[in-house]
Structure 1
Amino acid sequence: MTKSDYTQLSVYNGSDEAVEVYVTFAAQNSQNKCCPTPCGLSDFPFLTKVNQLMGKFTLDSKATQNFDPKGKCFSGNIGFYIEPQCPVPDAGFHHGETGTNIAEFTLNPNIPCAEAIDISCVNGVNCFIEMKVDADAGWAYGSDNTPITTIYNRGLQENSGNPGVYPVNCTDCIRLVGAKPCPSLPLGPAQTERICNVQRSERGGTVQVNLVVPVPM
């Protein structure tokens, strides 16, 4: 992993085919004291513009693309195959039959704000994402600050008890707040504790977002 005094991000395609990768950026917001002017499309010229806050690129099989924010706050999400959305009629698994999951992150926010990562299955699951971080780098989750180096989503209703992951339609981790984001999908089961976010106060190293092929059970 890359070593520096700020945090970088990489995306790896562990599948056997090239995939489209979608990157959604947080908007500029002067009221956000942690990350008022985050990175955007112009910071990564290899992206093709989808809209003002989203770009995409094609990642070859077994290839890695590095994102170097050069110390700027980098906040947003990564999705694979299609734009993040609820189920697409008549779609297969990877193209959104049961919605889409994303890897979410906020890196290099203003001190004392914490860095944070998670995998959101709120809008469903269309692939298996793993996020890996450096060991002994301060990443932890839950009320007991349990150290962790890898998070990974499972199937649509298999993420309860799985740290770093928001279950389907569980907008508040342990429950749904408001209307279902994806009405055609089931609710949860939710987490029983607030373990959906992984955070740290340190900076440096690389957060890896990996598209993985799960081992058959």
Structure 2
Amino acid sequence: MGTTELIIINDWTEEVKVYLTLDEGEEYISDISKIPFVKETTSSNQGYFVLGPGKFISYNSPQGKTFSGNIAFNSPPLNCPTDDFPMGINLAEFTLNSYSTNPKSWETVDISNVSGANSYLKFLLTDGEKWNAGPNHPNVTKFKNAALGKNIGNIGVFPYGCDICTASVAPPICGNKPIGAPSSPIPQTDAICNVQRAASNAGGTVSLFYMGPIPVHKV
């Protein structure tokens, strides 16, 4: 069993600020100061760095350490839209190299548009054992998000307000919806939001591409 490498790539024409927020737990990488490419810290488990156009960074967590958290672009995670980010923020979520923490666990990756979407993101899964999005999608090698309201049927994407993929149970409560969000959350018809594989199958590369900002369309 190997370890899974994460690569973050700026596939856009301008530099982008990348926020990394780490999950906390026993045998997790949870101290942001231990991540060598993070240049500025905002809390003990969150920080950011800047990627120029066409640039990338890579990270492979130490053996026996789970690497889990989320990545947001140009803003830290937000539960509700703001004046600066009226469409909200989407997240690239990941749990990698979790076997030592829990041998029966899963490696998972997804894109969460639950609180909005400001970025076009794409995951590319290469080498290593196969990833799946359930029995009907046994070999997922890539997936990406669309703008809010246009992700039904998109593997690996939690739609707006759908905190458990196929339903909206307890999403963030906000005074206003992100621009472009449907009037009511529209969940996926099948549980395809988590792309996963057994933690014992770790190895290969998970590449996250920032494909640029989603344009704001005033309504």
One of 30, 34, 37 as aligned partner of 2:27? 37
What corresponds to 2:69 in structure 1? 76
Aligned-partner residue type, residue 106 of structure 1: T
One of 71, 82, 90 as aligned partner of 1:101? 90
Q: What whole-Å deviation, never above 9, does each CA across 1:84-119 have from its counterpart, x for those lacking one? A: 112112x3xxxx221000100000112221111100
What corresponds to 2:23 in structure 1? 26
Compute the displacement of 1:44 (Å).
1.0
Aligned-partner residue type, residue 81 of structure 2: P
Compute the displacement of 1:150 (Å).
0.6
Aligned-partner residue type, residue 75 of structure 1: S
The 3 A distance-change label for structure 1 pair 180 and 42 is closer
Matches within 5 A, 1:1-217: 5-28=2-25, 36-40=26-30, 41-47=32-38, 48-71=40-63, 72-85=65-78, 86-89=80-83, 91=84, 96-110=85-99, 111-134=103-126, 137-182=129-174, 184-185=176-177, 186=182, 187-201=184-198, 202-213=201-212
Compute the displacement of 1:208 (Å).
0.7
Distance 1:145 1:130 in 2: 17
The 3 A distance-change label for structure 1 pair 179 and 64 is closer
Contact 1:76–1:104 at 8 Å: present in 2 too?
yes
Q: Which runs of 5+ in 2 are unaligned?
A: 214-219
Contact 1:43–1:69 at 8 Å: present in 2 too?
no
Distance 1:136 1:52 in 2: 32
Distance 1:104 1:164 in 2: 10
Distance 2:56 2:136 in 1: 33
Contact 2:162–2:171 at 8 Å: present in 1 too?
no
Contact 2:11–2:54 at 8 Å: present in 1 too?
yes
Compute the displacement of 1:172 (Å).
1.0
Distance 2:127 2:2 in 1: 16
The 3 A distance-change label for structure 1 pair 140 and 182 is farther
Q: What whole-Å deviation, never above 9, does each CA across 1:56-78 have from its counterpart, x for those lacking one? A: 00111110011121232100011
Distance 1:193 1:181 in 2: 24
Query: SS of the residue aligned with 1:10?
Result: strand
Contact 1:159–1:189 at 8 Å: present in 2 too?
no
Query: Which shifted more, 114-123 or 80-89?
Result: 80-89
Compute the displacement of 1:134 (Å).
1.2
Aligned-partner residue type, residue 87 of structure 1: P
Compute the displacement of 1:135 (Å).
5.4
Contact 1:123–1:181 at 8 Å: present in 2 too?
no
- TM-score norm. by structure 1 comes to 0.86
State percent identity of aligned pairs: 34
Aligned-partner residue type, residue 67 of structure 1: Y
Q: Matched residue pairs, number?
A: 199
- TM-score norm. by structure 2 comes to 0.85
Q: Which runs of 5+ in 1 are unaligned?
A: 29-35
Query: SS of the residue aligned with 1:141?
Result: coil
Distance 1:67 1:6 in 2: 10
Compute the displacement of 1:136 (Å).
6.6
